[in-house]
Every structure is written in structure tokens, then in C-alpha cells.
Chains A and B, each alone.
Chain A
Amino acid sequence: MKQQTFSERLHIDIPLLFGLIILCLFGLLILYSASGQQSAVIYNQVVRMLFAFGLMFLVAQVSPSRLAGVSIWIFLFGVALLIMVLVIGYIGKGAQRWIDLGVIRFQPSELMKLAVPMVLAWYLAEKTLPPSLSQIFLSAVIILIPVGLIVKQPDLGTAILVSIAGFSVLFIAGMNWRYITGLVILGALMIPVSWMFMYEYQRQRVMTFINPEQDPLGAGYHIIQSMIAIGSGGLYGKGWLNGTQSHLEFLPERSTDFIFSVLCEEFGFAGVMVLLGLYLFIIYRGLYISMHAQTTFGKILGASIILTFFVYIFVNIGMVSGQLPVVGIPLPLVSFGGTSMVTLMIGFGVLMGIHTHRRFLSD
């Protein structure tokens, strides 16, 4: 029998943990500057990080097979919470995304970012791969039920991310390229339809993305100021704590959605390379873990978590650099805020669990 290493017994993947810690520290460095050197913000963020790392560690103890077993229940529980949120929101006559548990506020839509890929991975792993058209259809239903509820909240950003998480499972599960192409075309056709269902502020965001200069002091202001922050950083940046766009408050949402621009301004292109390098390392390690997972469920779920992680990064950077519309997606593990960090770290916990819970054939 192969000897289990110490980290395997703890169900921790050292390289992944290492990458995550470095990323979080780098994130704190940027956040300290972006927040205007408020140690209170840093303290707050560190507490959340410790909490998220703790959750990651706990989740990592759960074996993939058990996870697969409970995934349908987590999913149904999540859907129930989403309905509850809508009902509370309806009664309270306003947008409602939260469930207040007293100590922490909890966003059920956030749970769906993991519950949807889990239930899909569980469902598809039982079937013969690649999934057939009917399986894809059923998967689509599984995705669209929570997505529809989230759109109702309304929270278009999260709805898109949940859809992407679900789609990434289908992609990893080997969905036929023809279907993928079809889905992309269908998505393109949906754009004009969804335009009709958008709220005014959502349309505004899209219009701003298409032409930020049309309203430089209004809706386009954020994007223009963000691009100025990025562009003025140059190769090596203005130096830590020396960003003028952020410190003089020209940059909006600099601690949260636009924190990447702060990095660009203060650390320049060199800093961007470091951050992207860290992200790539985590993605590669995550994909490596997925590829070496023992079960199909583990393979599919692991790769889809990483894929979703990557989409976050791509959408956020695309957004702040003016390539994608502003949809309110934080930069993973760098932006200030707990909810998305907790979800991400639970995801990484799942990954570690997949990697470290191995049944040895020799037993």
C-alpha cells in the first residue's frame, strides 16, 4: 500500500494552497492601497479569508463520492431558498437577494454557483459520456430553473455566472462540438430577446460598454476612469500607494469590482503579469487535479470549477479594461467582499477533496 503523505491525510493540496495564499496576500497588498490604507478594511478582509480558508479545509475533508450523493439535495435546497428569497422580496416590495442569518447574510444565488455544477456532474457522470441530446436538454432544465429564479431577483450577473458554471460542466463532460456551436448560436440569438427583458439600467450598461465616450460624465465615466488608471500605470506602475486615479477617488468601486485597475495603476504591466501568472498557476494546477481525479464525477466537477474560476477572471478584467460590459463581477480572491470569496474557496476545497480522497485498488 502506498504511503499517504501528511498533506494527503489533511486532504490539502500543497501547490494549490500555496498558490491561493500567495494570491490572497498579493490581493491584500492591492486592497490596502485601494481602500485608502484603511487597516479596518484589511482586518475585515483577513477575517473573511481565514473563514473562507477554514471552510475550504472543511469541505476538503468530504470525499467526492459523498459529495456526489448529496449534490441533488444541496441543489433542491438552493432552489427552495431562491424561491423563499423571491417570496420575501415580493412581500417586502423590493429587490431581494439576501437571507439574513443574523451573524452573516447569505446569498442563495451564490450557493447555486456550486450546486448547479455539482448536480450536473453527478447526473452526467452516471450516464454514458458524451451526453446525449436528451441529457443535454435535461441539464439545460436543471440550469435554467435556478437561473430563471436569479434573473427574477434581479441579478443578471450571477445568473450569467451560474449558467456559465452549468455550461462548463457540459463542456467538460464532452458535449458534442455541434451542440456547443448550436448553443453559442442560440445564445447569440437570445441577445435581442434578452434586450427586451432587460431593465433600463442593464441596457444602459450595455450601451455604455459599446460606446463609453457617449456619456463621459455619466454612465461611461467609470469605464473611462478605469482605462485611464490602467493606461497611466505604464510598464512598472506609479508605485504602491501612489496611484492617483484610485487615491483621488477618480476610480469608482476601487476596492471591489475595479480593483484590477488599481493594480494596473500602481504596479503597471509587470504587476499584471504577476497576477495573471498566479491565476494561470492555479488554473493549471486545478486542471491537473481534475485530470488526475479517480472518478468521472471528480473529473467533471473539478474541471468545471476551474473553468468557472477562469471565466470570473476573464470577465472582470475584460470589464474594467473596457472589453466587456460592466456586470459587477469581482476579481477572484482580490476584490474586497466575502460572498464570492467563500464560494470560490469552497470550490477549491472540493478540488482538494477530489485530489486527496483516493481509493487504492490494491486495498
Chain B
Amino acid sequence: MSPVFKFKDANHEARLIIRRAVIAGILATIFVFIVSYRIFHLQVVMHDHYSTLSQSNRVKISPIAPTRGLIFSSDGVLLADNRPSFSLEITPETVKDMDNVLKNLGEIIEIGESNVSSFKARLKQNRRFESIPLMYNLSDEELARVSVDLHKFEGVDIIARLNRYYPLGPMTSHAIGYVGMIDEDELSTLDKSNYIATSHIGKIGAEKAYEDLLHGKVGYQQVEVNVQGRVIRVIDRTPPVPGNNIYLTLNASLQNLAVQALEGKRGAVVAMDPINGGVLAMVSSPGYDPNEFVNGIDSKTYNKYLSSVDIPLLNRALQGKYPPGSTIKPVLGLTALRHGVRLPDDETWCPGWYILKGTSLKKGDWKKQGHGHTNLRKAIAESCDVYFYALANELGINLIYESMSEFGFGKRTNIDIGGETAGLMPSRDWKRKTYNESWYPGETLNIGIGQGAILATPIQLAVATAVIANRGNVLKPRFFDHARAPLSEETIISGEKEVLHSISISEENWERIVDAMHDVIHAPNGTAKRAGVDAKYQFAGKSGTAQVFSLAEDEEYEADKLVKELHDHALFVAFAPVNDPKIVVSVIIENGGGGSANAAPIARLLFDDYFEQIGIPEVTFNDETTDFL
């Protein structure tokens, strides 16, 4: 059989194709319905779900850093400001050849190695579209130079931002401290949500102590971002609450005066209100420029500070430990009076030396020919060492330790800005613990004139002197006076006077010591009488001259034979006016020589200026008391 030959049946084929075309049309329709159902499911049924996802895709919360509060002195001088400063910043994503740009910029202005290296470090961490600071604080000249050529550098911008600035610079460095960039350790302890946009934090001084008040509250803006996280527009904004402005008890005029007085010297001055504990001036010389620390100090400058023999970074007022010398004699005198070891008129014969009974230990007086018959008042006025050797020997170290501790020696004063050391008030326990030795009576003699192991900070001396001035209250020294809300200028919090404890000593005994300290200034035999000449007010003080190294018994102190570092420290503590004290001052000049000659004039300078400002209180000194001198 021949193979089946199929005739082409045109009609049959047409019907077949049309049938298939109809099937194709039906299939298309069905598929369109399926697709529609799928899209309907996504768009209508699941709409809320995807709407939420879309929203969280595009809306990001972006924090806004609050403006830091300002710091003012009590006399209205701005101590910490926020200044617009110009920084040179580069947005990496718009720069093709970063090394080339840096090289070309370097030809226009000097960028500096450390700036480049810190920039490169941040280049690795930051997102590509976020600008990274290359240089902070452009000078006017740098600003001008870069501005002219800025159009040549795509992605390089000059950005103005608020920078902390301390107008008085080194003058207030140790009191105000400074802010610096937040470091890892700080990051782990602070309130992350409130600091999320903040770059700087108080590192030291008042800036650190009042960080909470100064910082303010972070603001937020809801921003629309694109897929790279770049902000497209702001949807909603909760403005940040600026930090509170802080007013310190610090008196800028006194501070300025103290800085000038210590110019070229190593030392410290603390001035304090003896009634409420407010610190009026606190200077540690030499200072440093806090502005250098704000945006990270370069290592060269930092090393210069670190290697300086003057240790400018040390806050001598709070951390400098000095033998207090004769400045503690009033406190020892009070201790003898309150415990009945001495009556006010008990006299000690001062031949110019003191021999500890039963030993061969002989201690000389600063006045070789001796003070003769000496009672307590004279002993303080003339700073008789022999009187206090004998006194200390009779009091014994236990009683001295107990009483001195009450006056704050060997303990932190709890000053509000912190960062202080406790100094050292030696005791039998201390000696045993530290040296595993028992206490020698000879050591007590040294303590009697503020020498030996005893070490005090200038702030401790100020606080102890304030106790005498206010007759018994150990105050917590503070810088904080009040804080005002940023916009309303309303006082939101005031610093309170804080009495840590009171020392109960009879009225007469206080007056006896005050009188003696008054004699130091105003009596003909007072050691610091030259500091009191022509004063329009009466004040009380005590000088001190602390030995830096020990002399053998028969040696004499000859300043010009010693290198400067071995010269005596000059100390002086004082308060004024005597019967209505408004200000207490402690001064120490390292290797400054005699306290009455070198340190006392500084106190006088501060007193004069302060009373110029506030006026001399009405109460005048009772002449009676000076009669018998």
C-alpha cells in the first residue's frame, strides 16, 4: 500500500488554527486573571504589611545635637562659648582620587600629618556620602585661601559648625576644664539616646561636673532617606532643647588678677566665699589653653605640655600636694585651746631652738635669736616654731590627727568639679601601714610646723581657713552658683551652701585665734604686716614657708646657694574682713621663698579688688583687741 497522502484541507486547517488561537486567547485571559489576583493579593489584601515595610524603608529618625549651655562667671563674663568655626570637610563619594585631592589641598594650606592620618582613619568608618572633617578651626587666612580655590575641588566643603570656645583661654583652664570628643569609655557609660548626635562631652573641670546641665536634650527629625541613607527631605522635626546656661561663683576679675600675680611662677591661688563655699577664683599656674583640647589636641602640643617641667596640665589648686608649713599653726593653736592643752596666756620660752625631752633631737626656730616669752597669740603672729614644737609634742600625734582631719586635712574637700587629691594627714596607723614602722615623737614636732609627711592642697588650706573665718563650718567648696534655662533665662537650679560638718569650739577660742591671725597682718610684730599696710579693711592671715628639702640641724637656709627647685614654697592663707568674712584666700608659690613676703601680697591684691567690687562691709574692727600688742 502506498503511503497515505493527506490532502491539504484548507478549511479544516483554518478551523484548527482558529481553535488554537481561541484557546490562546482564553489562556491569556486566564493568566491575566491569575496575575490580577496575585497583584490584588499584594496590593489590597497585604497592603498594610507592605505599606509598613515601605514606610520603614524610607523614614529614618535622625537626631539633632542640642546646643551646649554657656558658662558665665558671677560677674557676667562669658567663660565658655559656642562659636561658629569653619572646618574643611570632604565627602568621599564625590571624590575620585582622594590622595590627589589631599595633595593639591596641601599645596594651598598646610594640613598637617595628624589631620591627614585621623581623616584617613575616619574615611574607613564613615559612610561614603557623609562629609568627614579634615581640618578644624580654619584661620581667616586659611579660610580665604581655600575659599578662592574651592571650586576646583569637588566634594570639598567649608562647613560652619558650633565649636566650644573658651574666651579666657589658659586663665580659666583649670576651673572650667574643657570639652573633647567623646571616647569609647564615655560612650559606654552615657545615655546613648540623648548623646546620639553629640560629638563632644565635658572632659574635666566644670564642663565635666555640670555635663548634665550643660548638654541639653537631643532633638529629632524624621527624615526621608533613600536607599543609601542619604537624607532627601525632612518630614517632621522635634527641635533639640539647648543646654542650660551655668553661672559660676567664679569672679572673673579676681581670677584675672590671680593669673597675673602668678605670671611666670609655678603655684596656685584659691579664693573662696567663707560663708557659702563658693569658689571666687581658682588659678593653677602655669595654665594651658583649653581650646587646644576641644577638637583633639595634636600630639606635638600635647607632648610639649607633658614634658614641660612646669607641669601645666596639673591642677595645683586641687592636686598640688604641698607641706602646709606654718599656715596650719592657727588650727594647731585651736586644737590646744579646745582640748585645754594650752591656756591662751600660757607662755613658752623660745631661745631659738627646741630640744625634745629625753633625746638629743634639737630643732631650730626660723628666728635664730628666738622669740623669747611667747604665748599663743604671739606665737601665731610671729610664727614661733619653738612654741609649736612644744605644743605639738604635748598634743601628740593622735590628737593632732583627729583635729586636723576635722578641719579637712588628708581628706578630699568634695569640691563640686572633682578631680582633687586628698593630700596626706599622717597618723600612727598611716605610718604603720605605709612603712610598717611606729611613729617617732620627732615626727610630731615636724607636724607642729606643717612639715614632715603632712601634705595639703591649696583648696584644703582655703577650706580650713574658711572654717576659722566662719567659726566652725567645714564647707563643701563649689563653683556652681545657678543654672538658667536657655530661652526663658529662668533660674532652674541654684547651688546650695553645704556644710559638711561643724566643729564646735567656744566663741572665745575662735576669737583668740582670729585675733592672732589679725596680728599677723596688722600688728607691728606680725610676719605679714607689710601685706596689711594701708588696707581699708582689717584682715587675718597666716603665712607659711615650707621647706622643700630638709636641712641638717646646723645648716642654714641660703636661697642663693640652692637651685630654684629646692627653694622654699611660699604659702599664705587669709580671710577678710576679720569680723564679717567675705573672702578667704590661699596662695602657694612653688619655690617662691618666704610666704609673708611673696605669697601674702597676692592675697592682699585679691582682697582689694574684691572689696572694690562688693564694697567694704560696714562692721569695723574692734580696736580693743589690738590694745595689748
Q: A228 at interface (Cβ–Cβ under 8 A)?
A: yes
**Which chain B residue has the least Cβ–Cβ distance from A127?**
B8
Of B18, B32, B44, B226, the residue contacting A248 (CB under 8 A) is B226
> Which of B23-31, B208-216, B496-504, B518-526 forms contacts with chain A?
B23-31
Of A129, A248, A299, the residue contacting B232 (CB under 8 A) is A248
User: 0/1 per residue, A169-196, Cβ < 8 Å to B?
Assistant: 0011110000000000000000000000
Q: A51 at interface (Cβ–Cβ under 8 A)?
A: no
**Which chain A residue has the least Cβ–Cβ distance from B25?**
A287
User: 0/1 per residue, A245-289, Cβ < 8 Å to B?
Assistant: 101111000000000000010001100110010011001100100
Complex CA distance for A273 and B39, rounded to whole angstroms:
10
| Contact in complex: B21, A128 (CB < 8 Å) | no
| Contact in complex: B228, A249 (CB < 8 Å) | yes
Q: B117 at interface (Cβ–Cβ under 8 A)?
A: no
Complex CA distance for A287 and B17, rounded to whole angstroms:
11
Q: Which residues of B contact A321 (CB under 8 A)?
A: 35, 38-39, 42
User: 0/1 per residue, B7-48, Cβ < 8 Å to A?
Assistant: 111101110111111101100110110011011101110110
> Which of A40-48, A89-97, A230-238, A353-361 forms contacts with chain B?
A230-238
Q: Which residues of B contact A279 (CB under 8 A)?
A: 32
Which A290-338 residues have C-beta < 8 A from chain B?
Answer: 290-291, 296, 299-300, 303, 306-307, 310, 314, 317-318, 321, 323
Complex CA distance for A300 and B42, rounded to whole angstroms:
37
Complex CA distance for A207 and B20, rounded to whole angstroms:
35
Min CB gap B62→A, angstroms? 15
**Which chain B residue has the least Cβ–Cβ distance from A234?**
B47
| Contact in complex: B14, A296 (CB < 8 Å) | yes
Q: Which residues of A contact B24 (CB under 8 A)?
A: 168, 171-172, 287, 303, 306-307, 310
Of A264, A283, A303, A306, the residue contacting B17 (CB under 8 A) is A303
**Which chain B residue has the least Cβ–Cβ distance from A232?**
B54
Q: Which residues of B contact A310 (CB under 8 A)?
A: 24, 28, 31
Given contacts A129-B16, A321-B38, contact A228 B227 (CB under 8 A): no
Complex CA distance for A231 and B52, rounded to whole angstroms:
10
Q: B49 at interface (Cβ–Cβ under 8 A)?
A: yes
Min CB gap A340→B, angstroms? 19
Q: B241 at interface (Cβ–Cβ under 8 A)?
A: no
Q: B57 at interface (Cβ–Cβ under 8 A)?
A: yes
Q: Which residues of A contact B226 (CB under 8 A)?
A: 247-250
**Which chain B residue has the least Cβ–Cβ distance from A245?**
B54
Min CB gap A306→B, angstroms? 7
Q: Which residues of B contact A339 (CB under 8 A)?
A: none
Min CB gap A8→B, angstroms? 21
Of B7, B25, B39, the residue contacting A230 (CB under 8 A) is B39
Which B354-403 residues have C-beta < 8 A from chain A?
Answer: none
| Contact in complex: B57, A280 (CB < 8 Å) | no
Interface size of A as a range: 35 or more
| Contact in complex: A228, B28 (CB < 8 Å) | no
Of B8, B12, B44, the residue contacting A269 (CB under 8 A) is B44
| Contact in complex: A249, B6 (CB < 8 Å) | no
Given contacts A306-B24, A321-B39, contact A250 B57 (CB under 8 A): yes
Q: A60 at interface (Cβ–Cβ under 8 A)?
A: no
Given contacts A228-B53, A235-B44, A314-B31, contact A303 B21 (CB under 8 A): yes
| Contact in complex: B25, A284 (CB < 8 Å) | yes
Q: Which residues of A contact B9 (CB under 8 A)?
A: 128
Min CB gap A41→B, angstroms? 18
User: 0/1 per residue, B241-283, Cβ < 8 Å to A?
Assistant: 0000000000000000000000000000000000000000000
| Contact in complex: A234, B58 (CB < 8 Å) | no
Q: A19 at interface (Cβ–Cβ under 8 A)?
A: no
User: 0/1 per residue, A129-145, Cβ < 8 Å to B?
Assistant: 11000000000000000
Q: Which residues of A contact B95 (CB under 8 A)?
A: none
| Contact in complex: B36, A231 (CB < 8 Å) | no
Q: Which residues of A contact B40 (CB under 8 A)?
A: 269
Q: B78 at interface (Cβ–Cβ under 8 A)?
A: no
**Which chain A residue has the least Cβ–Cβ distance from B58?**
A244
Q: A30 at interface (Cβ–Cβ under 8 A)?
A: no
Q: A229 at interface (Cβ–Cβ under 8 A)?
A: yes
Q: Which residues of B contact A230 (CB under 8 A)?
A: 39, 42-43, 50
Complex CA distance for A244 and B55, rounded to whole angstroms:
8
Complex CA distance for A245 and B18, rounded to whole angstroms:
44
Given contacts A249-B228, A314-B35, contact A129 B42 (CB under 8 A): no
Min CB gap B48→A, angstroms? 9
Of B17, B49, B54, the residue contacting A244 (CB under 8 A) is B54
Of B8, B12, B20, B54, the residue contacting A228 (CB under 8 A) is B54
Complex CA distance for A272 and B41, rounded to whole angstroms:
13
Q: B114 at interface (Cβ–Cβ under 8 A)?
A: no
Of B10, B17, B28, B29, the residue contacting A173 (CB under 8 A) is B17
| Contact in complex: B51, A234 (CB < 8 Å) | yes
| Contact in complex: B17, A228 (CB < 8 Å) | no
Q: Which residues of A contact B42 (CB under 8 A)?
A: 227, 230-231, 264, 321
Of A231, A276, A303, the residue contacting B49 (CB under 8 A) is A231
Q: Which residues of A contact B10 (CB under 8 A)?
A: 296
| Contact in complex: A290, B21 (CB < 8 Å) | yes
| Contact in complex: A231, B232 (CB < 8 Å) | no
Min CB gap A129→B, angstroms? 4
Of A245, A264, A314, the residue contacting B43 (CB under 8 A) is A264
| Contact in complex: A276, B25 (CB < 8 Å) | no
| Contact in complex: B17, A172 (CB < 8 Å) | yes
Q: B515 at interface (Cβ–Cβ under 8 A)?
A: no
| Contact in complex: A272, B43 (CB < 8 Å) | yes
Complex CA distance for A173 and B14, rounded to whole angstroms:
10
Complex CA distance for A296 and B40, rounded to whole angstroms:
39
| Contact in complex: B25, A269 (CB < 8 Å) | no
| Contact in complex: B28, A280 (CB < 8 Å) | yes
Min CB gap A204→B, angstroms? 21
Q: Which residues of A contact B36 (CB under 8 A)?
A: 272-273, 276
| Contact in complex: A248, B225 (CB < 8 Å) | yes
**Which chain A residue has the least Cβ–Cβ distance from B8?**
A128
| Contact in complex: B16, A283 (CB < 8 Å) | no
**Which chain A residue has the least Cβ–Cβ distance from B35?**
A317
| Contact in complex: B43, A248 (CB < 8 Å) | no
Q: Which residues of B contact A248 (CB under 8 A)?
A: 57-58, 224-227, 232
Q: Which residues of B contact A128 (CB under 8 A)?
A: 6-9, 13
Complex CA distance for A226 and B226, rounded to whole angstroms:
15
| Contact in complex: B51, A283 (CB < 8 Å) | no
Complex CA distance for A290 and B43, rounded to whole angstroms:
35
Min CB gap B55→A, angstroms? 8
Complex CA distance for A227 and B46, rounded to whole angstroms:
10
Complex CA distance for A171 and B35, rounded to whole angstroms:
22
Q: Which residues of A contact B19 (CB under 8 A)?
A: 174
Min CB gap A239→B, angstroms? 14
Complex CA distance for A321 and B16, rounded to whole angstroms:
35
Q: Which residues of B contact A280 (CB under 8 A)?
A: 28-29, 32
| Contact in complex: B28, A283 (CB < 8 Å) | yes
Given contacts A276-B32, A296-B14, contact A269 B43 (CB under 8 A): yes
Complex CA distance for A321 and B54, rounded to whole angstroms:
15
A-B contact pairs, 9 of them (CB 8 A): A129-B12, A173-B17, A228-B54, A234-B51, A244-B224, A245-B54, A249-B226, A264-B39, A321-B39
Q: Which 6 A-B pairs have the closest CB atoms?
A: A231-B50, A232-B54, A248-B226, A174-B16, A249-B227, A231-B42
Chain B contacts to A: CB under 8 angstroms: 6-10, 12-14, 16-22, 24-25, 28-29, 31-32, 35-36, 38-40, 42-44, 46-47, 49-51, 53-55, 57-58, 224-228, 232
Known A168-B24, A269-B44; 12 more pairs at CB < 8 Å: A128-B9, A174-B19, A228-B50, A230-B39, A235-B43, A235-B47, A248-B225, A249-B228, A280-B28, A317-B39, A321-B39, A323-B38
